[in-house]
Each structure stands twice: as C-alpha cells, then as structure tokens.
Amino acid sequence: MKDHFTLEQKVGQLFVLGFQGYELDRETRMLIETIQPGGFLLFQRNIENFDQIYNLTSRLRDMAGTPGLLAIDHEGGRVDRLKQLFAPIPSMAELAEAGTASLRLGARIIAAELEATGFNVDFAPVVDIRLPHSIITDRCLASSPLEVARLAAAFIEELSKRGVVTCAKHFPGLGGAVSDPHFSLPRIERTKRQIQYEDVIPFVRLFDQIGMIMICHAHYPSLGDDKPTPASLSSRVIGGLLRKKLGYKGIAITDDLTMGAVTSLGLTTDIFLRAIEAGNDLLLFSQTTPLVERAFHAIVKAARSSAALRGRVEEAVGRILTLKTRLEFVPPRYRTHMRARVNRQIDKLRKSVEPARTLVTSMLLKCPRVRSPLLVRGPAVGLYAFELGGTRCGYSCSRSESR
C-alpha cells in the first residue's frame, strides 16, 4: 500500500492529532485535508452525547485516506473519557486489587463502550510498576513487574476480542515519577539495573500482545542522556534500549507533545524531527495548531534531502500500515439498550470492587505528618479533603486530561 503513497502522504501517517470542540471547524478540516493524519485522539471536550460522537467518529473515519486510528485514553478512574455517556468505571488499581475476574469485567465494559462510540484504539493499559510516592499510584496495576504483566495481559486480551488496539504505557516506566510531565520534565532516579530488570519487564512480556508502546516524557540519567532529555526524544531510550537491546519491532508513539515536559524545551518543528529520529513511529499532538502544519512541511522537506530520515519515515509507515490492516471497522452500536446494559454491568463491577476501593483510597492518602497547611496537587478524581497530622488538606487533580 505504501508504495503508492507520496512522501507527503507517508509523513501524514505519522501524525495523531487532537482538536477542540464537538465538531470540526473550517480551519481544522483544512489542516486535516493538508496533512491527512494517520489518526485522531479525542477527549471529553469532544464528546457531548451518543449521536454526536457517533457522527464525529464516523466522519473522522471517512476523512482518513487509510483506515484511521481513532484513539482515546480510557482506563477508568480519573482517566475515564466516557463517563458523561456511561456510569463511571473504577480505577485500574481498584480493579486489580479486586482480582483478575473484576479486571476482566472492567476491560470488557471498556471494550463495549469503545465499540459503541466508534473508537478502535485505547491508550491503555498503564504497565508502570507501582512505586512509593509515584504520581500515578491509582493508575498502576501492581508493584511486582510480573504481576503487572499478568494483569495487563488479561486486560489486553479482553479488548483484543472486541477488535480494540491497545497501547502499553509509559516506557521505560513512569512509576518513579514524583512530578507531573504535563507541567515539567520529571527526573527518574532509577538505576540502569532497576530499569532493565524491573521497570521494562511488563513491556517486554507484552510485546506480542500490544498494538503499540507509548514513550513517556521523563528524563532517565542512568540511561546515558547527560542533558535533561525526555525519553520520547532520546535515541538511547527508543533506538537503543527499546529497539536494539529489548528487540521491540512494533509501533512506538510519543506521549502528547504539547505537555510541559516537552514545551519547556521550546516547542518548535525541531521537536517533531527529533521525535522521529529518536525512533518514534507516531507523533501525538493533542491540538491542531499552525505549528503542526509547519512541522509537517518541515519533515517533508527534511526527508527529501536526507536518505536517513526518508528511511526512518518508510520504516514507521510500514509499521503503521501493518497495524491498520488488522483494524476492524464495525459501525458503532449506540442504541439506548446497549447503554443501559453496560451501565448495569458497571454497577455490578463497582459493587465487586468496593472492598478494594477502601484499600486503594487509604494507600493514596498516605502522607507524612505536616505542621503547616498543605495543598497537594496530583492524581485524584474530583476534590478530597482529609486530615494529615491535624492539618486539613485538599487533594485535587490539576489537569483532567492525564495520560
């Protein structure tokens, strides 16, 4: 298929784009027609009701020159993008704590919701191992690498049965992050041995099951990058560790390139070029801005004059199109009775994980005693108030669109 593509069409396949609103405005439509992106990422900001999301995903699918990747972050808990259409789903930590049967039921519910709304890619599961003081504790399945791999395999299996492509994240492991990459570049103080023999184990175990791996925006000094460099822009991490040492042959996708961890370095077209050269196949950008079009043209221009970059584009497009041949496009089923049936299953699931919720909540609220008022910004859903050593604290999510 790619032999019939122009260079511009090949470069377009590398882009996965997001946009604002329930419908495509004129500027966004024009940008999509120019770039012909390989896929789209939608958020809660794009979802109003069943009719609207059905029409939107159908339109995006028709606009794609090849079968389009229609992606969403849908894990449950605080990363539940469809909770305005369906009842909320418990978090991954709660599902895992409740047992494999509950986790599988949660995965089947997620798959049914995605099928009903027209998505074929879920940026899940999180396969980072749970570490002390992590910002993503409630999104992690377990603290043991092998247990994470086992539970993630069950989740992936259930989504795969419904034709949903999964994405393991965040390579090479975000469990050690104590700051949020949405705002700044985390520095992961894990030794090279810890990363290679603990953090990456779940990813390696899942190589044959997952559709893609998401590369995180965090700096890992022990992996050889002296200057603060996001893993998503590091050839040592992607080309060296993931590809050569671990032997991964599938698709690598960046985390959102609009995150503060990247923009703090200076968001220019050079970021997109660095991401491709480092070994990424898909470039995730959650906004359609003039920068995206400039980056598209910059990559096309650079690829015309660089055989090495052309080879990288060819390699990436080959992987993307191979994945797309496996996509199943079933017209979304969004009938009212399906919504009611899914909500009944969610109610059953929530009752089964109630004991686990108590345990996970107590785990999340563990914190040293403090002597002064403290505002904690980080992973939580909604706003919680609780007592820490006699001090009343607020614990709130500082960004709703966490990945």
Q: Which two tokens stand for residue 203?
A: 């990813």
C-alpha span between 174 and 402 (Å, rounded):
13
337 is catalytic: no
Please tell me which residue in 199, 255, 256, 281 is annotated as part of the active site: 255
Sheet with strand 375-377: strands edge to edge: 375-377, 391-396, 383-388
Catalytic hit among 74, 170, 182, 217: 182
Residue type, 125: P
Q: Is 281 a catalytic residue?
A: no
Strands 121-122 and 69-72: parallel
Distance of alpha carbon 311 from alpha carbon 240, whole angstroms: 17
Residue partners of 297: CB distance under 8 A and separation at least 6:
none
Amino acid at site 309:
L
The residues assigned a catalytic role are 182, 255
